Structure 1
Amino acid sequence: EGEGRTMLPTTASKGRGAARSAPPLFGPYLRRIVKWQQMDIEYTFWQMVHLCTSPKVVYQHTKYHKQTKNQWARDDPAFIVILILFLVFATSAYCAAFGESAPHAALTIISVVFVHFLFAGLVLATLCWFLTNSYLREEPNSHVVEQRVEWLYAFDVHCNSFFPAFVILYVLQYFLSPLLIAHGFLPALLSNLLFMVAISYYHYLNFLGYDVLPFLDRTTFFLYPIGLVIILSPLMILIGFNPTRYFLSLYFRSLVLSGKSEPQKSSDHIWCLWKAISERLLNGVHFGANLFIYVLFPLI
């Protein structure tokens, strides 16, 4: 009879034992970063596609991962490694398009990867980890083991939320940048809409990531920033603020701020925009092909 009780997954003793015997996250995780053959590249791409199309399916698989691995966080660093590679190639494409020198391009790539993605991700993940564990956990009763949000899971949620924003603000914006960095109402309107969608979707995925955890309550808290974004976006449009011009000028100031060229005829301006966007498309195909041939194909 005593042996039978140990097989029940719902007992408090089983939960506490599982909590104590949970494997350490960081050791194996960091070791697998340098072992490509142990990374599940195909599943990583599946996750990335579904984060843009059906994010709830991804977090349904997170539940399965918890049941099989006894942890919410990924034990495979492939997602972060692939995302960093995408960031490097996307930033390189921007540097090539704006004609920056090799040292400036290297500095820009380092800044994007280590500041925009990793440092900002560490800060946001730590903040969400603290808020969820301190204020959003349900009070456990005496028959249920106390559960906490893993820090690495909070970072996973950030990475999941970041990827669709990367697609919008790094990839799509790259192709549209000849139009978006122009002066006028339409570029500012399109740029603000692009940022509004990207930021709102980021926070929506953040909400899904924590809402899937059964021991958290009031996770709609993570949807509140979307309301703020929706309120601020029309104001930014009305004052003519162009976020694309602003953020690109932080890295490519010499080119973007020199965009005040002499007035052109409407037909000439449209032709120049079409030519520039076509060049972006060709550059994007070129960088994408190189990424697949030299980096991703050997891993699959």
Structure 2
Amino acid sequence: MVIQSGESSFGRDSVTRATSPFLPPPVTHRKDCMSAAVKRYRYLRRLFKFEQMDFEFALWQMMYLFVAPQKVYRNFHYRKETKSQFARDDPAFLVLLSFWLFVSSVGFTFVLGLGVYEFCKFLLYVIFVDCIGVGLCVATVLWYVSNKYFLKPNYRGQDVEWGYAFDVHLNAFFPPLIILHVLQLFFYHGLPILHRTQVLLYPLVPLFLTFIVSLASGWNIIRTIMDFYHYRV
């Protein structure tokens, strides 16, 4: 099989173990799987053991969350087949995300002219409210709803892991963080000779309403545009 370049040894091993016909059955078919408490303990225990973290693979995941997020999901599937859990067992992604939160907070400090005290308040707010607080609430609600209402009847013996729900939040949190808290800082001031530039955003309102109408009515906008170009030529 072909292994995508950029994946670390952890990802390649997961792919090999999950697909090779000569290896034992996946761990999901065994009865000696770790409990949720044991998995959580092992994860927290590794949180400060940086030498045991696979930062290369975490960086690979962050990159592919922008260019090919389906590959990140595929790796979660491989982990389920090999380690009987969808959730990450390596806190490297969380550590790197914390680093980006710190970097973005430093950027906001310089752009907004904040002091040391304001920087600390901003950093703590971003970490414990925007990322962790909101993430805990959203992950817990969707974890409960998924297990309560969305499980297939033939999968009643399994459940969606809360850790996986929180990982989905972290995956969704990272791209907007880079766009809004890092890249946006370079365009914050804009052109000082202009004012009322928000007027340029007004056309987004009718465009959004048109998109909603097209979904509700089943109108294929792309086909209409193609028919228009075909009519012109």
Partner of residue 108 from structure 2, selected from 94, 101, 110: 94
For the residues of structure 2 that align with 1:138 and 1:169, how far apart are their CA atoms? 37
Pair 1:184 & 2:206 matched: no
User: Which amino acid letter does the alignment assign opposite residue 196 of structure 2?
Assistant: G
Partner of residue 170 from structure 1, selected from 156, 181, 203: 181
Give the equivalent residue in structure 1 for 2:128: 114
For the residues of structure 2 that align with 1:93 and 1:54, how far apart are their CA atoms? 27
User: Which amino acid letter does the alignment assign opposite residue 178 of structure 1?
Assistant: H
Q: CA deviation at 1:30?
A: 0.6
For the residues of structure 1 that align with 2:191 and 2:144, how far apart are their CA atoms? 37
User: Which amino acid letter does the alignment assign opposite residue 76 of structure 2?
Assistant: T
User: Which amino acid letter does the alignment assign opposite residue 169 of structure 2?
Assistant: H
For the residues of structure 2 that align with 1:95 and 1:233, how far apart are their CA atoms? 38
Q: Percent identity?
A: 38
Does the 8 A contact of 2:105 with 2:123 survive in 1?
yes
Give the equivalent residue in structure 1 for 2:99: 85
Give the equivalent residue in structure 2 for 1:69: 83
**Number of residue pairs the alignment of both structures matches:** 186
CA 1:75/1:8 → structure 2, altered by over 3 Å: closer, same or farther?
Answer: closer
For the residues of structure 1 that align with 2:32 and 2:152, how far apart are their CA atoms? 19
Partner of residue 37 from structure 1, selected from 17, 40, 51: 51
* CA shift digits 1:77-109 (9 cap, x unpaired): 111111011011111111112111111111111
Matched residue SS, 2:31: helix
Give the equivalent residue in structure 2 for 1:159: 170
Q: CA deviation at 1:185?
A: 3.7
Give the equivalent residue in structure 1 for 2:221: none
For the residues of structure 2 that align with 1:137 and 1:53, how far apart are their CA atoms? 30
CA 1:174/1:44 → structure 2, altered by over 3 Å: closer, same or farther?
Answer: same
Does the 8 A contact of 2:143 with 2:161 survive in 1?
yes
For the residues of structure 2 that align with 1:133 and 1:73, how far apart are their CA atoms? 15
Q: CA deviation at 1:68?
A: 1.2
For the residues of structure 2 that align with 1:153 and 1:61, how far apart are their CA atoms? 12
Does the 8 A contact of 2:26 with 2:82 survive in 1?
no
* CA shift digits 1:170-212 (9 cap, x unpaired): 112111111399742447629x97xxxxxxxxxxxxxxxxxxx
Matched residue SS, 2:201: helix
Does the 8 A contact of 2:87 with 2:167 survive in 1?
yes
Pair 1:136 & 2:135 matched: no
Unpaired segments ≥5 residues, structure 1: 1-6, 194-229, 235-300
Give the equivalent residue in structure 2 for 1:17: 31
For the residues of structure 1 that align with 2:52 and 2:149, how far apart are their CA atoms? 37
Q: CA deviation at 1:53?
A: 0.3
For the residues of structure 1 that align with 2:125 and 2:95, how far apart are their CA atoms? 16
CA 1:20/1:49 → structure 2, altered by over 3 Å: closer, same or farther?
Answer: closer
Matched residue SS, 1:51: helix
Unpaired segments ≥5 residues, structure 2: 1-23, 213-233
Partner of residue 149 from structure 1, selected from 160, 183, 187: 160
Does the 8 A contact of 1:129 with 1:154 survive in 2?
yes
Pair 1:47 & 2:61 matched: yes
User: Which amino acid letter does the alignment assign opposite residue 162 of structure 2?
Assistant: W
Give RMSD over aligned pairs.
Answer: 3.2
Does the 8 A contact of 1:15 with 1:145 survive in 2?
no
Q: CA deviation at 1:169?
A: 1.1
